[in-house]
Each structure stands twice: as C-alpha cells, then as structure tokens.
Amino acid sequence: MKKENINIHKNLKIIGLVAKNGENIAVIEEFFASRGIEILVEKNSAKKIGKKGFSLDEICKKTNFIISLGGDGTLISTCRQVVGKDVYVLGIHDGTLGFLTDIKMNDMQSFFTQFFAGIYEIERPLMLDVVFKKNGGKNIKRVAFNDVVITRNTISSMSKVDTYLNGKYFNTYYGDGVIVSSPAGSTAYNMSANGPIIYPLSNVFCITPICSHSLTQRPLVLPNEHELSFKNVDENEVAIVIDGQDVFDMNKFDEVCIHLGNTHANLIRHLNRDYFSVLKEKLHWGHNGGKA
C-alpha cells in the first residue's frame, strides 16, 4: 500500500479527458474553464459530441493529469493506454458506483476544492505484465489492469492448458478456462468464478479456474515474485482475453507468461477513500449481514 501526496495539483493548466459518453463533456469543460484550466478531450471521446479531439499520446505530452469519465471499464482502458508514463488518472462516474471510480459528477465541486488544496491521495495498484512468446519471433508485451483470461475459443468446446510456475510444470487447467487476476481485478470476473476478494493494494495475485472439470481445482493466491506461464496442450483453440478488451489467439504463440510486479497504475483518490465502504455497498455486507 503506497499512499503519498505529490504535487500534480500545482500549476495545473491542462487536463486530459476520456469519456465513455458525450453528455457530460461540456459540463466538465465549463467547470474547469472557470478555473482557468483547459480540457483536452481525447479524440474518440470528442467524436461523440462531433468534435475532433487529441490522441492520448498528444495529451500525455501536455499534461500528467487525465480525467476518466465513465465506469471502471473506461478507467481501466485509460490506465492501460498511459502505462509507463508518469500520468495520473482520476475516475469520475456518471452512473453506477465502481470499485475504481467512486466520485460522482455531483461531487466534483467538493472533490476539486480539496484537490486544489493538496488534499488527495495517489493509489498505485499493481497491474499484471503479460508476455506472449514465440520461438524465433518477437515477444509481445501487454499489461492487464484487472485480469488475463485464458479460455476456450468456441462456446461448445473446453480448454486445456498446462501451467508452469517459475518455469516448472505444476498444474493443468481443463474446463472453461482460467483467470489470472490482479488484486484490483479480484472483484471482477474472478469473484464470479468463486475467486477470493483481495485488497487492491496487496502485492499478491490470484489464479482461479473457471468451471473446472476437476473438482479439486481451487483459487490460488501467489506473491508477486512468482511467474506463471501457460501452454495450450489441446487441439481446441484457446483465446487470451486481457481486461475483457484485447483478444489474442493462443495458438499463435508458444507460451504466455504472466506476473505481477513491475507495472502499476497511478490513480488519484479522495483522501481516506474507503475500499471497504464500496465493498459493503456493492455486496450488501454490513449489519444486516444476517439477512440473505
């Protein structure tokens, strides 16, 4: 858990904006115009309101502060695109409370009053590093914010993948597939597949079978120094899906290696934001826990 204050709120002249929908873009532009700050709208977001916009690369050259307007999916996509850059992302949601975006449009005023006074935190949840390896070919590298899902490519088949831990064979997953989840991703697909909830700023990650054919397969939590690698050992096609957004064909590679460790996102959070409050609200935990 790294929580620290830095100085991104000082001398802020430009903010980037990625938006899932077009509707609140103007509101945000106006909000910051009155504070003398220019909003650079990302080009796909700008298209939604019939404007031109900027690429994320252009934006990152001019500012290290980006607002993600939408749900957790929009924030995740933004973080993945700016990975490795010294860029800070703030999630604002215009609908459903998310694990990552817990500031409402309506709370913007009060949040930014605090923010410009230096009252905020940076959270750095660890992401997964994914390397697709091919003999004689070039490795492809990606990061996953939530999860890497290794799964059957057609709905009527099963996947069967051999799994190695630090280069040594340790298990074969046979069934619908397997999820490798970052700590922050543990409340996403991982939780639906009976994986544990992991505090998002932990330095462990989880491998969870999806509808395993064998009844003894269970979720396994590993410290960040371990590396998992997967090989397809069946004639069936297997797909690798990163954050539900990027899909790869496993048969094009010899091996896929995944570990938690070197890469993290930079999230701006309100001070004392409480992960467990979100958990309670989303899962109905709490005093009436006795009622189903």
Give the binding-site size for a second copy (rule: CB under 8 A): 72
The answer to whether residue 72 is catalytic is yes
* Tokens linked to 162: 């051999």
Report the largest interatomic distance among the alpha carbons of the chain, rounded to a whole angstrom.
Answer: 61
- Minimum CB–partner distance for residue 115 and a second copy (Å): 24
Residues 132-191 that bind a second copy (CB under 8 A): 149, 151-153, 155-156, 160, 162, 165, 168, 170-176, 183, 186, 189, 191
User: Residue 94 in contact with residue 43, Cβ under 8 Å?
Assistant: no
Is 278 a binding residue for a second copy by CB under 8 A? The answer is: no
Find out whether 231 and 162 touch, Cβ atoms under 8 Å. Answer: yes
Contact 79, 145 (CB under 8 A): yes
β partners of residue 222: 205
**202 CB-side CA count, 13 A:** 18
From the list 221, 223, 204, 220, the residue with the least C-alpha distance to 212 is 220
For the bound state, the minimum distance from the C-beta of residue 24 to a second copy, rounded and expressed in Å, comes to: 22
Task: Specify whether the CB–CB gap between 165 and 228 falls below 8 A.
Answer: yes
Q: Which is nearer to a second copy, 27 or 233 (CB)?
A: 233
To a second copy, the closest distance from the beta carbon of 7 in angstroms equals 26
Applying the rule CB under 8 A, the residues between 50 and 89 that interact with a second copy are none
Nearer to a second copy, 45 or 202 (CB): 202
- In this complex, which beta carbon is closest to a second copy, that of residue 91 or of residue 177? 177
When binding is defined by CB under 8 A, the residue of 5, 110, 214, 262 that contacts a second copy is: 214
45: three-class secondary structure by DSSP? helix
Can you tell me the distance from the alpha carbon of 138 to that of 241, in angstroms, rounded to the nearest whole number? 20
Residue from 29, 116, 219, 231 that binds a second copy (CB under 8 A)?
A: 219
Considering the rule CB under 8 A, would residue 251 count as an interface residue with a second copy? no
Binding residues for NAD(+) are 72-73, 146-147, 176, 184, 187-192, 245
Please list the active-site residues.
Answer: 72
